[in-house]
Amino acid sequence: MEQKALCANNVRKQYKEKLALDGVSVTLEPGHIYGLIGRNGAGKTTLLAALTAQIPVTSGEVAYGGEPVWENEKALADLCFSREIGARADSGEAALKVKDYLRMGRLFYPHWDEEYAQALIKQFGLDVKQKIGRLSKGMQSMLTIVLALASRAPVTLLDEPVAGLDVVAREDFYRLLLDDHMATGRTFVISTHILEEGAAIFERVLILKEGKLIEDTPTDDLLARFCAVSGPAAAVEAACEGFPVLHREALGSHASFVVRAPAADITARGQAVELNALSLQKVFVALCGHEQEGQA
Amino acid sequence: MNTILSDQSLIYLQIAQMLEDGILHGDWAEGAQVPSTNELARTLRINPATAAKGINQLVDDGILYKRRGIGMFVAEGAAARICAKRRAAFYDQFVRPLAAEARSLDLTREETEALLAKAFTEKKEG
Amino acid sequence: MKPTLYFCRQVLMYHLVMAAAVAADLLLVRIFGQDSIFFIYVNMFQYLFIMMHAIGTANICSLHAKLALGFGATRRQIVVGYTVVMVVSAFAATLLSVASAAATPLVLGPIAEDSMQALMGTAVADGSLWYMLIPMLGIGAVFGWVTILKNRRGWRSVLLIGMVMIAAIALWLVLPLVVLMMTADGDSDYLALLNIIRWVPLVSGLVLFAVFYALTVRALRRLAL
């Protein structure tokens, strides 16, 4: 399968009152799993829709393998954007049956793998005769996952696929995703705000904040920029001196800081402190949650 | 998160460490084939690129070598090299924290050394 | 090509259900007689139902146009598919109506000349193709296009189109009823009247069409097609 990169170049999307995307440029290289994270309303869905030409952009362009995606049958045939169903429960597809939805996939996605779809349906226990609107949130998520995986599209974008899933189903999903990724080398973009498993799955993280892409970084590199420092308060203070401290906790003479500094720089201070890496979730909170960076 | 990996350090470092541990303990002898990137990714539910990064670090350290089209193998003298590397870090990583903890518990140097000696005999018996 | 086939498939099902409904109603009249309630529905099917049919078809198309967009169809494909289906559907609906009008006396036997059925039946048969086809195409097209246009043009223009559409439906619906009332005593030459008013929907349909195409061309230009 020949693989091409999907690029957004300075994409802006202005809704009536809101600037949903503010000059986003990103290149999705083939063969990677990207995590698209951001708070609610940060523009995740808008970005995914713009990347697949489902909404017109205000300015900027999206290209696949160097060719514009807009109204480009060849490019669109290689892309799959599996939307979150639950978010639009009152719209048309709620009245469709599961099998009708999947039939659309079979009809519209040229790389569709019916055998795979059937196997996934069986595994998830989806009732194909049920109307989509009557499925539980978890089942709706599973339907979007079946659609995305079975599309076999070289570039597949999933919008909040794990939102309605419990931890067991999430692990199942990520296992399926990795198996498929290893077997086919497809590119995946997964938007989510549930980050527990993310660090292990996403090779790169894209972080959207208020319509701006603030990070497009390999997950490891992003995590390596932060560390948690704990130990005697004086030692922690000395070790973190001069670095932006994002979060501090003190309990008696023991202190624990989250600091934006590579672990090596802290170690170099020679203080007797314990260093730990941060989870992706904590890094995300540090980047998108705390506006008062550097303050006490 | 699965049971083998933790949030506490970067995943590729944990992969490298895990393989090093295995080689030190003799799970993989010199010249033996270690699990492939895909096997690691599937078992640990991690991105294969991350697994590859861990493995590549060991290749750079001369602990593993690649046989094109076959897989990754433990290099000659790998265990010794790991041993030397870890010995260099042993003082900072284990001995200093041990002494610090002993001090805060008001254990004297003699008492601590006696405990160490005891641990060594237990280890031998075990 | 894919959206075209897909739309056709969706609409075909709708046509089949409609045809079955007409046939079932005729059968019911046959069983329960011309003085039963089912008799009224024969006219409904032949006259009003055909419009419901148009709206239903358009609704299906607009829903599936949106879905198809989500499944990676281009806007151009959707436009082609949509137009083809509306035209095919209009002819199919007309055919269905004519067939049911022709089948009515066959199934029911002679119908009294001064009955409401005769009046309505003639309106359909006489106003015939144009009377049904044009508004149907216009209404249907607007319905479907609303979905596509509103991606680009705010809700205000959608409302405007909606109002024009409702006015067209009202005109189409009300005029025959006016004729019906005026000719209730049976002396007026309702056929002459019909000959005049049947041009009204034709003209309004054409105007609607022109507006719709102007908007479409503008939208397409903006969509960079």
- Give the pLDDT means over successive 10-residue stretches in chain A (296 positions): 86 90 95 93 93 90 93 92 71 78 91 96 93 89 95 95 89 93 94 87 94 93 90 89 88 89 86 85 82 44
- Specify the length of chain C in residues: 225
B72-81 pLDDT per residue, tens: 999 999 999 9
Number of folded domains that form chain A? 2
SS3 content of chain C, % helix, strand, coil (to 5): 85, 0, 15
Nearest Cα of chain A lies from the Cα of B126 at a distance, in angstroms, of 31
Strands A187-192 and A204-209: unpaired
CB contact (8 A) between residue C74 and residue A54: no
CATH class of the region B11-78: mainly alpha
| Residue carrying structure tokens 């919008």 | A159
Residue B85: pLDDT above 50?
A: yes
Whether chain C has a CB inside 8 Å of the CB on A112: the answer is no
**Residue-number span of the structural domain to which C169 is assigned:** 2-222
A121 and A267, same domain (yes or no): no
C138-196 pLDDT per residue, tens: 665 665 565 555 544 455 555 666 666 666 666 655 665 665 566 555 555 555 555 55
Evaluate whether A246 touches A209 at the Cβ level (below 8 Å). no
Evaluate whether A199 touches A223 at the Cβ level (below 8 Å). yes
Interface of A with B (CB under 8 A): 32-33, 171, 174-175, 178-179, 181-182, 196-197, 199-203, 219-220, 223-224, 272, 276-279
Nearest Cα of chain A lies from the Cα of B117 at a distance, in angstroms, of 26
Evaluate whether A166 touches A138 at the Cβ level (below 8 Å). yes
A227-256 pLDDT per residue, tens: 899 988 888 999 898 898 888 888 888 999
Nearest Cα of chain A lies from the Cα of C164 at a distance, in angstroms, of 24
Interface of B with A (CB under 8 A): 1-2, 5, 7-12, 38, 41-42, 44-50, 53, 96-97, 100
| Gap between the Cα atoms of C145 and C154, Å rounded | 13
Looking at chain C, which residue has its C-alpha nearest residue A83?
C70
DSSP character string of A39-102: -TTSSHHHHHHHHTTSS--SEEEEEETTEE-TT-HHHHHTEEEE--SGGGTTSGGGGSBHHHHH
CB contact (8 A) between residue A220 and residue B53: yes
pLDDT (0 to 100) of residue A293 = 44
pLDDT (0 to 100) of residue C128 = 45
Name the strand (E) or helix (H) holding C86: helix C75-108
| Gap between the Cα atoms of A287 and A39, Å rounded | 11
Pick from A77, A83, A108: CB nearest C68: A108
pLDDT (0 to 100) of residue C61 = 62
A195 and A170, same domain (yes or no): yes
**Which tokens is C167 given?**
């006015």
Residue C7: pLDDT above 60?
A: yes
Instruction: Give chain B positions within 8 Å (CB) of A196.
Output: 1
Burial class (CB in 10 A: 0-12, 13-18, 19+), A287: buried
Instruction: Give chain A positions within 8 Å (CB) of C77.
Output: 73
pLDDT (0 to 100) of residue A74 = 92
- Write down the number of H helices and E strands in chain C: 8, 0
| Gap between the Cα atoms of A24 and A26, Å rounded | 7
Confidence class for position C116, pLDDT limits 50, 70, 90: very low
Classify residue A282: in a domain, yes or no.
Answer: no
Classify residue A77: in a domain, yes or no.
Answer: yes
Number of folded domains that form chain C? 1
**Which tokens is C10 given?**
């969706």
Residue B92: pLDDT above 90?
A: no
Cβ-Cβ pairs closer than 8 A, A with C, add up to: 52
**Which tokens is B17 given?**
């460490």
Mean pLDDT of chain C: 62
A132 and A23, same domain (yes or no): yes
Confidence class for position B19, pLDDT limits 50, 70, 90: very high
CA C197 to chain centre: 17
For chain A, the farthest-separated pair of C-alpha atoms sits apart, in whole angstroms, at 66
Instruction: Give chain C positions within 8 Å (CB) of A107.
Output: 2, 5-6, 71
The CATH number of the domain holding residue A68 is 3.40.50.300
**Which tokens is C95 given?**
């055919």
CB contact (8 A) between residue B8 and residue A197: no
Cβ count near B51 (within 10 Å): 25
Evaluate whether C209 touches C133 at the Cβ level (below 8 Å). no
Evaluate whether A173 touches A259 at the Cβ level (below 8 Å). no
pLDDT (0 to 100) of residue A277 = 87
Q: Do A and C share at least 3 CB pairs under 8 Å?
A: yes
Across the range C31-51, mean pLDDT stands at 60
Name the strand (E) or helix (H) holding B118: helix B109-125
**Residue-number span of the structural domain to which A96 is assigned:** 6-222
Instruction: Give chain A positions within 8 Å (CB) of B49.
Output: 32, 203
Nearest Cα of chain A lies from the Cα of C76 at a distance, in angstroms, of 7
Nearest Cα of chain A lies from the Cα of C96 at a distance, in angstroms, of 27
C60-100 pLDDT per residue, tens: 666 677 778 889 888 778 777 777 776 676 666 666 666 66
A58 and A137, same domain (yes or no): yes
A88 and A210, same domain (yes or no): yes
A116 and A259, same domain (yes or no): no
pLDDT (0 to 100) of residue C203 = 57
| Gap between the Cα atoms of A221 and A197, Å rounded | 17
pLDDT (0 to 100) of residue B122 = 81
| Residue carrying structure tokens 């489902």 | A54
| Gap between the Cα atoms of A212 and A195, Å rounded | 20
Looking at chain A, which residue has its C-alpha nearest residue B52?
A203
A215 and A259, same domain (yes or no): no
